[in-house]
Structure 1
Amino acid sequence: MSTSTPMINRYKWYEIIGIYCGIALFLIFVLSPFVEGFLVSLKPLSRLFSSPYRFWPEHGSFAAYSTMWESVPGFARYVFNSLFISGVATVVVLMLVVPAAYAFARFRFPGRGPLLGAFLAVNMFSGAVLIIPLFRLMRSMGVLNTYWAMIVPGVAFLIPTAIWLLRTYMLRIPKELEEAAYVDGASRLYTFRRVILPLAMPGITVVAITTFINAYSQQFIYALTFNSKTDYMPLPIGLFAYFGRQEVIWNELMAASFVGIAPAMIVIFFLQRHLVSGLTAGAVK
């Protein structure tokens, strides 16, 4: 009777130490900016550039987390705008991408390959390159100084990546399931709704999370170009308000940054199980 040995136990002791040291080094490299930013938010502004440097803030407090609302009175509105823009963009992307990814995964039609290649080419261009044509397009549509001025360009740049991600996942769903449904008399729409969508839900969850995070982080250039009303400004513009003419309020800026990214971190925290399962689903049979 054979017993299976965990893969980690097959390494020698010094190899295990090397693995954990590499993981620790990677985590230090990734997390150190966040740790330093959090410590800056705890330091008084007068002690930020004091010498000698102290890692742990002396006389540190959470005062910046309360005074930041006074420095930028509309900061709560900025956070709400970012959440609203990202949420609407995510819903619109999913409504367009789910049927499109299914079509690219199952149907063969003229121009399918070049169209998929064009989607990849779109991701090679930065939004800044197309900012002037986009501005003229937004002006012709009459959506300047509205939420849609930031939602429409964001959706346009998020769709190609979402289609590729979800199409790859749908390719792993066996066609025999659809064929069995057709034999039982189900229509294509019924099969898509009752068979494909439930099986594709982990992949759809991954696309929804990545789309929300990307939409939450790419709003600065669109808001700065297509919007001039404070009521519609997203979070990046609110953070930019902490840059004064004479000085930058670094501790309040860091505090506002952590408050601003908290919604995205909460989303990832509660959906990380679905994110991991969606990324690994279909990897093995």
Structure 2
Amino acid sequence: MTAVSIDTAPKTAARRRERWANGRTYISAAIIFIWCLIPFYWMIVTAFRDVGYTFDSTPFFTHVTWDNFTTVFSENLGNHFGRNLLNSLLVSGVTTVVALLFGVFAAYALSRLEFRFKFLVLGFILGASMFPGVALVTPLFQLFTNIGWYGTYQALIIPNISFVLPLTVYTLTSFFREMPWELEESARIDGCTQGQAFRKVIMPLAAPAVFTTAILAFIASWNEFLIASQLSNDQTKTVTVAIAYFAGAQAHQEPYTAVMAAGTVVTIPLVILVLIFQRKIVAGLTAGAVK
């Protein structure tokens, strides 16, 4: 009996330490989760709250109204939020597609091919992602004004691509670098050209990483404000700029509830994208670690 007790004591202590470590992990994750959700909670609460009770501390289910969302899409107040949503979808969609189109090939070349100055090119790409966007506002404004592009979609898409493309290349390069060379070599032995091996073998395996990168690129473009605030007009204004200049139902009063309603509407497409592609996103985030 004494021997059995001595043998089981370390195992019991180990299990106790493991449970305590798991408990700390869950508690820490719950604290971070709650901390991150608090702003979204207050945004939704304020979005559905009557204007007269904006700063009221009553529970969520009191003073609920849909008038704030009506105000968001009310064009008689000078708001064109529906058009602003379409503008953001167009700019973000085109930016994401173009960034992926060039980023996939650039990342493949940087990770799988050997050529001179490869690391210098990768350094330039990373340096471009760190360049402050505020330093580009004035030159871009003067350039696009001189060539007649001010207030056009291309004036918003091209700068967005320059900011999103380094993120795309860097993310996909890390994935392609971890992919085994033997997969491509086997396809070449079976008679595939390098292009066929890339299309039939590499790209299907890279689909999770591509989906993840597409979501990140779309979110980065969707949330862009600085360039859009200076290079867009009333016809091409995106939602981030529209919210900053939002008009409320009452003059000389900050439309807090309407702004929160607009923020809720803007968040919905991102939530839908994440929910639809959540499995791809998780697979893409973990693919480089397990393949």
Tell me the TM-score normalized by structure 2: 0.87
Q: Aligned partners of 1:134 and 1:146: how far apart in 2? A: 13
Question: What fraction of aligned residue pairs are identical, expressed as a percent?
Answer: 33
Aligned with 1:74 (options 80, 92, 102)? 80
Aligned with 2:143 (options 137, 141, 145)? 137
Partner of 1:34: 40
Q: Aligned partners of 1:282 and 1:180: how far apart in 2? A: 20
Q: Given the alignment of the two structures, is residue 247 of structure 1 paired with residue 253 of structure 2, yes or no?
A: yes
Partner of 1:65: 69
Q: Aligned partners of 2:132 and 2:26: how far apart in 1? A: 37
Aligned residues: 275
Give the CA deviation at 1:241: 2.6
Partner of 2:7: none
The letter of the residue matching 1:126 is P
List aligned pairs for 1:175-254, cutoff 5 A: 175-218=181-224, 220-228=225-233, 230-242=234-246, 246-254=252-260
Q: Aligned partners of 2:18 and 2:173: how far apart in 1? A: 41
Q: Deviations over 1:27-47 (max 9, x none)?
A: 121000110111111222222
Q: Aligned partners of 1:186 and 1:284: how far apart in 2? A: 26
Larger Rg: 1 or 2? 2
The letter of the residue matching 2:113 is F
Q: Deviations over 1:203-254 (max 9, x none)?
A: 1111111101111001x222221122x1211101221232567221111110
* Change over 3 Å in CA distance of 1:137–1:188 after alignment to 2: farther
Give the CA deviation at 1:18: 3.1
Q: Given the alignment of the two structures, is residue 107 of structure 1 paired with residue 113 of structure 2, yes or no?
A: yes
Which runs of no fewer than 5 residues in structure 2 stay unpaired? 1-14
Q: Give me the CA root mean square deviation.
A: 2.2
SS of the equivalent of 2:133 reads: coil
Give the CA deviation at 1:11: 4.2
SS of the equivalent of 2:135 reads: coil
Larger % of helix: which?
A: 2
Give the CA deviation at 1:96: 0.6
Q: Aligned partners of 2:62 and 2:276: how far apart in 1? A: 34
Q: Deviations over 1:37-76 (max 9, x none)?
A: 11111222222235xx335364222321223222454110
Which runs of no fewer than 5 residues in structure 1 stay unpaired? 1-8
- Determine if contact 2:53/2:63 at 8 Å carries over to the other structure: no
Aligned with 2:89 (options 83, 89, 99)? 83
* Change over 3 Å in CA distance of 1:111–1:13 after alignment to 2: closer
